[in-house]
Amino acid sequence: MGGAYFPPTSASSGGVRAYNLIKHYGTQKQLVQALRGVSFEVQQGELFGIIGPDGAGKTSLFRILTTLLLPDGGEATVDGYDVVKQYSEIRKRVGYMPGRFSLYQDLTVAENLEFFATIFNTSIEENYDLVKDIYAQIEPFKDRRAGKLSGGMKQKLALSCALIHRPSVLFLDEPTTGVDAVSRKEFWEMLNRLKQQGITILVSTPYMDEASLCDRVALMQNGEVLTVDSPEGVINSFQQPLLAVKANRMLPLLNDLKAFEGSDNAYPFGEYHHVVLKEGTEPAVLENYLRQRGHGPVTITTIRPDIEDCFMALMRN
């Protein structure tokens, strides 16, 4: 852990703070550590991404922050309120969209929205301007049952329902999983517009490419936060030379790249293999080595790392 975080002190500050959160499931014999001391801070009005593969602990973290689970250790505040003691305050002011579609499938689009508006003691009319952009797209189908909507439309409805009471903090657990590329792009545009309204947004995703759309991200793996930084900051912290390599026979190439003494890490990346070189190793040396190993024509390009490369590097440490 970075150790740069302090326990939350003032209850007046907005945003989200987590300090050393611990959560485990199961019995003594079969203990599953979901969170092993997670700390981070989200400023008010920030679009904060929690990026990590399946099983990293993202959903457990979200459930603790939305007061659905009690942490086994550590503290957290949402909008200045403690997630354990002041849970009912938090429940009044956050919006939560779980990873799974969790609306009433046998109610229509309009009935779902109306229901969620009333349980938050508000009405659709009162906050219509906030959801207008999103809801307008599904309004033509407002008499259709939610269960009969397409994936993208379900997600828009779920977002509308999570927003209808104008929450101060919005939690979106993997909102883009299983959604097509166009809808994903649209969805991120919607999030950016919501940010303009001053809503703090926490969004988790397994897709590395979405990290660049957040103000700041926390990279998570195995119940731990690897780093918290802006997307540029994460990329800039990657100092070693990075090469993309391609040859005719990709599998032997990967093995040779891993065996190369000047390489720190090698992994497949789309149609290329990415190689992280040790500090001071020249790309020319690698080219020579590969020729000796009998690879024919080889393309080697020096590239700028992206978030996924950073994630791979962080995971190794």
**Sheet architecture: strand order including 169-173:** 94-97, 169-173, 200-205, 47-51, 216-221, 224-229
118 or 237: whose CB is closer to another protein? Answer: 118
- Compute CA 124 distance to the chain's CA centroid, rounded to the nearest angstrom: 29
Considering beta carbons, is residue 63 or 216 the nearer one to another protein?
63
Write out the binding residues for another protein, residues 125-184 only, by CB under 8 A: 161-162
Query: Total binding residues for another protein by CB under 8 A?
Result: 31
Q: Which of residues 191-250 bind another protein (CB under 8 A)?
A: none
Among 10, 28, 88, 239, binds another protein (CB under 8 A): 88
Region of 2-10, 97-105, 208-216, 297-305 interacting with another protein (CB under 8 A)? 97-105
- Token pair of 206, please? 């397994």
- The span from the CA of 274 to the CA of 264, in Å, is 11
Q: Applying CB under 8 A, which of residues 24, 36, 92, 166 lies at the interface with another protein? A: 92
Pairing label, strands 272-277, 263-269: antiparallel
- Residues between 247 and 306 with contacts to another protein, criterion CB under 8 A: none
Integer Cα distance of 95 and 97 in angstroms: 7
Q: Which residues of 255-279 are buried (b: 16+ CB within 10 A; e: fewer)?
A: ebbeebebbbbbeebeebbbbbbee
Distance, CA of 165 to CA of 114 (rounded, Å): 11
Residue 11 found at the interface with another protein (CB under 8 A): no
Binding segment for another protein (CB under 8 A), chosen from 98-106, 237-245, 250-258, 289-297, is 98-106
Give me the 101-120 binding string for another protein, x by CB under 8 A, dash otherwise.
xxxxxxx---x--xxx-xxx
Element (H, E) at 95: strand 94-97
Which parts of this chain interact with another protein (CB under 8 A)?
63, 66-70, 87-88, 91-92, 94, 96, 98, 100-107, 111, 114-116, 118-121, 161-162
